[in-house]
Structure 1
Amino acid sequence: MAETLRSRVTRAMAGGVHALLDRIEDHAPEAMMEQALRELDQVVDEVRHELGTVTANRHLAQQRHAELNRQHDTLKAQIDTALGQGREDLARAAVGRQLDIETQLPLLEASLAELAQQEGEHRGYVDALLAKRREMEAALSQFRQSRASSAGTAAKPGSSAAQIEQRMAGATDAFDRIYERQTGLSGVARAGRLDDASKLQTLEDLVRQTQIDARLAQLKQSGADGQA
């Protein structure tokens, strides 16, 4: 979208109030108010489209998360087999892959949490916009009724506009509450680095080998305990 979702929805929520009030005095007020409803429908369609994209991305992330967990379980069984056959080289490779998976899983879980938050936020947008549409339709209906009965009654200047503005303001406040409840801060501060890149790589390799050795030793001990 050309502008942020937040600003697009906010403009539709707040701007429609003034548009309705102004168009009541236009040459063709009913046609103009119907156009305002159509414009709001366009915003709803845009938000629903983005909601569908977020939902699809969350579904894909869930599938990837499940697949990595399955791979991790399969590797565990393969490691047991390799150690039982005395093939520590194969077990070492499988343990390395397990560690890689264990590194990826927290990142996927963080992505899933973020997508779930976005999905809830977008659903909140849709609910708020549809609530506002109902308010606008009610206002249009009241306007039509007032025109139909205007020949026999004296209208009170400004009363209908005040009622419309009050009801629309309520819908805007509801949107803001939904947005603030659904939106949270993300990201963490990062600082510090090693000046020597080769030393950093060596350190990472050392840590990885230590993790592999520790995992193998644990698995060997578990196997020995099981045979005792």
Structure 2
Amino acid sequence: MSLTSRLRTIFRIKATRAVDRLEDPREALDDSYDQQVKMLQQVRHGLAAVATGKKRIELQGQEMGARYQRLTIQAQEALGQGREDLARTALERRSLLERQVATVRDQHAALLQQQAQLQENERRLAERIATFRTEKETIKATYTASEAQVRANEAAAGLGSYMSDVGANLNRAKDRVAQMQARAAATDELLASGALNDITAPPDADLERQLAAGAASAEVERQLQSMKTAGAQGGSRAADDHGNGPDAWLSIGQGPTTR
């Protein structure tokens, strides 16, 4: 496999994983529900338009019916007055009106059938949307609960990117602490041995430190010898008596208390 093919395969795999992370099924379900609701609104708008058109035809038919009755009365009155010419004109107009009424009646029947079909479609679509909404909310709740369980399990097992970062940070912090402890111990040894000089210390501070250490050691030896001598004599106290009062600590290191 060439380098270009391998790069293309890797890019496709990465892109697929990125899309899977970005695609939320809950959002997809909500989008499908919104599309169905919009479709239902369009059906209802069409139903309202058909109902409006049917109502206009009904009003027009009522006007034609009223004119038809009026022409009939006019023809009868013309015959009563001996005006056959007027009666014939009224009947001719009524005949033309009958053909117009037949056309309007056919349009009204078509609109009634269309309205009935739209009402049935609206009912079925509304029921389907209600069912889909119930299923959608159930699936969303199940997905949310499963997602929360996965995150909790990953956190408990130390999985996931966040917990991995936490573990890496903890390990780095432990390494830094160990490095600092080792460095502190090394510098303490160097300072104690005199290999590393304290630049903030006064001149000849190393000599004073060594002399102080020697004096402390000599004092300890002196006190030890004094205790041995006191133990050999038997009547002397094995330790300095500094008293037991609240201010006894003031005499520590000042030698035995004079009585």
**Deviation at 1:144?**
2.5
Paired with 1:82 and 1:88, the residues of 2 have a C-alpha distance of: 6
CA distance in 1, matches of 2:21, 2:83: 86
TM-superposed CA distance for 1:149, in Å, is 4.2
SS at match of 1:42: helix
**Residue identity matched to 1:119:** Q
Structure 1 residue ranges (4+ consecutive) displaced by more than 4 angstroms after TM superposition: none
Q: What is the aligned-residue identity percentage?
A: 23
Query: What do the CA deviations read for 1:19-53 (whole angstroms, capped 9, x no partner)?
Result: xxxxx997211111111111111111111111111
CA apart distance, 1:148: 4.5
Alignment gaps of 5+ in structure 2: 1-19, 151-259
Q: Look up the match of 2:105.
A: 109
1:34 corresponds to 2:51 = no
Return the match for 1:53 from 49, 52, 67: 49
2:68 aligned residue: 72
| Residue aligning to 2:129 | 133
Aligned residues: 129
Cα deviation code 1:127-180 (max 9, x no counterpart)? 11111111211111211332344339xxxxxxxxxxxxxxxxxxxxxxxxxxxx
CA distance in 1, matches of 2:117, 2:21: 36
| Cα distance per residue 1:58-90 (max 9 Å; x no partner) | 111111111111111111111111111111111
TM-score if structure 1 supplies the norm length? 0.53
Any unmatched runs of 5+ in structure 1? 1-23, 153-228
Change (3 A) 1:26 1:126: farther
State how far apart, in whole Å, the 2-side matches of 1:45 and 1:25 are.
33
CA RMSD, 1 decimal: 2.0
- What code does the residue aligned with 1:143 have? I
**Partner deviation per Cα, 1:191-212 (whole Å, 9 max, x = no partner):** xxxxxxxxxxxxxxxxxxxxxx
TM-score normalised per structure 2 = 0.47
Q: Which structure has the larger Rg over C-alpha atoms?
A: 2
